[in-house]
Chain A
């Protein structure tokens, strides 16, 4: 024990190598090794070059291929050493056997970091693959940081770095950082974030994680001022001690959201006690994440939803909420859901109920809370009045408005007009924004859609338009009430714990 403590004590200073993350995430000069020298060539290097150009990367790009030539109007350098400028960051997409030499060349010219897209390393499970990866580690240790190999790379909206194969990711920066070994999971989340309204500070898919990986990146992101929320998809980790230390430290500064995959393959260890037989990987991971103060989610949808909530809502807990909507079984569903997640939907003060009743259509409406506006065609002005009144109740900390916009199809049909013309979605989003501005209390929009068939593509479009409108106003949109309430519950757990810590 004492020996162990000493080791930790010594390591504490300069636990990680000095790293110029600025040059890695926001490079001004970029070398891409392994672009195709032939016209019309394909491959990761060329794909990455085209994607980064499509993203509008503002820095200089130096493609490299021993054959030289030109690609997309850029001169191809035969050797990294021939590049006439200092290079901040390199993207390496050459065949695995050429990777060590390429990385060595980058180190030699003072590149701060490199992402290695190439595969053919330890993931193969062959001696040759492992040996090549070891060489990468040895070169990295001499002064160049490596992301990968076998990864999709870094996505950083602010700088225009993108991961494979993302020529069309958002250039809007935001609070969320995302880490994963899996490139597929990363690019999927980047695309989801784009339409859902989750904006990223940076995203790193680190593949085999030969050099930079979860613990060290967590350490960096915890200190990164661009990052307010950290999200991760984890399959395996390298070092339990380091991971636990860093995720706990990070979670004490900002929310850390974890989707742990691969829990079904609980190792069949041979054990003698009941304790050990009950402590399989699923339950241990749950416990470890709770102990660290991180938030565990169970699928990619929940991951995206929780990130949306943390991104757009004030950083606090919300115990008491109002729910407004009409045309569905809103009252009962809302109460059931809120109770399940430990939230209150208090009956509004009588004078506020009276005020709301005054504007709602009768009969069929209810102003108690949940506020049932009786039909889905109640206009934005009336909804605004109801929300403004409900916010007057000092117990209400957050409001949810559920809009069943798909019902507008009936009206569209009646008047022979497109549904996006008859549904007042722009006015609705504006009204909600006004309510937030006037009351200082956040509002969440929920847009369920029960019409998703081929004959209702106009509804799908209407929902997308409405979501976009809300997004432009900074209002989070969820598909279902349950998703919204569950996301808030995660915030409540996180900020409840933080409050407890500060006490």
Chain B
């Protein structure tokens, strides 16, 4: 059974000729598959700023959001730990200026607190089709490449092995006063990514990085969905 909501968003993006989904749209697709994402609101207009702040609450993260802009950090389109309306207004101005006229808006996002960053993703192997990735996230993803893959569809056991297989698997345990990760939730997320790969051939790649452990709960903080 295809996920109608996700399909509609992807169809729309494809009709517009997009090669990727914006972060906001990507998270809508993920949410449609019950993958936990940050609470966030996309605004295009300064007038909506304060209402969004009320809904999300401080501290928050503000990001430039467009399907046409990758590498938001390098372009100065991410402002974190915003704690006052004044800061928010300033960030809004700077982000809109930095967007250089690309279609999109400003993403008002709850700031997820957690010291453990994971990565999840999807690739399509020419031989084996959709393969789901799990590993250490954030800046460590590319440096350590501590990752594991499984081909979709994933069984619960596959997801458990993926988590055990990475060298840094202890990060999921109760360490240094942090709670043990909700591995059941991680399992559901990995299986859901596999389902996206099987059900939506138009999705060619997915990067969810970081997925931050907020206490025990994983939350997708940034998401990229690449279309065919």
Chain A residues with CB under 8 Å of chain B are: 1-2, 237, 240-241, 243-244, 267, 269, 271-276, 278-279, 281, 283-284, 287-288, 290-291
Task: Check: B123 CB closer than 8 A to any chain A CB.
Answer: yes
Minimum distance in angstroms from B70 CB to a CB of chain A = 8
CA distance A243 to B206 in the complex (A): 25
A-side contacts of B127, CB under 8 Å: 237, 240, 243, 281, 284
Given the interface pairs A1-B198, A267-B126, A284-B128, the reply to whether A272 lies near B226 with Cβ below 8 Å is yes
Task: Check: B121 CB closer than 8 A to any chain A CB.
Answer: yes
B151, A287: Cβ atoms under 8 Å? yes
B-side contacts of A288, CB under 8 Å: 128, 131, 149, 151
Interface centre among A1, A273, A275 (most CB of B within 10 A): A275
Task: Check: B94 CB closer than 8 A to any chain A CB.
Answer: no
CA distance A274 to B209 in the complex (A): 9
Q: Which of B44-75 contact A (CB under 8 A)?
A: none
B131, A284: Cβ atoms under 8 Å? yes
A240, B125: Cβ atoms under 8 Å? yes
Given the interface pairs A272-B20, A278-B133, the reply to whether A290 lies near B165 with Cβ below 8 Å is yes
Would you list 7 pairs from A and B whose C-beta atoms are within 8 A, ordered by A residue? A240-B127, A267-B126, A273-B207, A274-B142, A279-B125, A288-B151, A291-B158
B161, A279: Cβ atoms under 8 Å? no
Minimum distance in angstroms from B22 CB to a CB of chain A = 14
Minimum distance in angstroms from A348 CB to a CB of chain B = 32
Q: Which of B114-131 contact A (CB under 8 A)?
A: 119, 121-129, 131
A271, B205: Cβ atoms under 8 Å? yes
CA distance A272 to B205 in the complex (A): 8
- Contact of B206 (CB < 8 Å), options: A240, A273, A281, A290: A273
Task: Check: B224 CB closer than 8 A to any chain A CB.
Answer: yes
Chain B residues with CB under 8 Å of chain A are: 1-2, 19-20, 119, 121-129, 131, 133, 141-142, 145, 147-151, 158, 161, 165, 198-199, 204-207, 209, 224, 226
A-side contacts of B122, CB under 8 Å: 275
- Contact of B123 (CB < 8 Å), options: A1, A243, A273: A273
Minimum distance in angstroms from B91 CB to a CB of chain A = 26
CA distance A8 to B168 in the complex (A): 38
Minimum distance in angstroms from B66 CB to a CB of chain A = 15
- Contact of B149 (CB < 8 Å), options: A2, A271, A284: A284
B-side contacts of A276, CB under 8 Å: 121, 123-124, 204-205, 226
A-side contacts of B206, CB under 8 Å: 273, 275
A273, B224: Cβ atoms under 8 Å? yes
B205, A269: Cβ atoms under 8 Å? no
Given the interface pairs A1-B198, A273-B207, A274-B209, the reply to whether A279 lies near B151 with Cβ below 8 Å is no
Given the interface pairs A241-B129, A275-B123, the reply to whether A283 lies near B224 with Cβ below 8 Å is no
CA distance A305 to B136 in the complex (A): 34
B207, A284: Cβ atoms under 8 Å? no
Minimum distance in angstroms from A283 CB to a CB of chain B = 6
A237: nearest residue on chain B (CB-CB)?
Answer: B127
Minimum distance in angstroms from A7 CB to a CB of chain B = 14
B-side contacts of A273, CB under 8 Å: 121, 123, 205-207, 224, 226
A271, B123: Cβ atoms under 8 Å? yes
CA distance A274 to B140 in the complex (A): 12
CA distance A214 to B145 in the complex (A): 31
A274: nearest residue on chain B (CB-CB)?
Answer: B207
Given the interface pairs A1-B2, A240-B125, A244-B128, the reply to whether A275 lies near B150 with Cβ below 8 Å is no
A244, B133: Cβ atoms under 8 Å? no
CA distance A271 to B19 in the complex (A): 12
CA distance A291 to B131 in the complex (A): 11
Given the interface pairs A290-B161, A290-B165, the reply to whether A284 lies near B125 with Cβ below 8 Å is yes
A1, B128: Cβ atoms under 8 Å? no
Minimum distance in angstroms from B26 CB to a CB of chain A = 11
B149, A287: Cβ atoms under 8 Å? yes
B-side contacts of A283, CB under 8 Å: 147, 149
B149, A279: Cβ atoms under 8 Å? yes
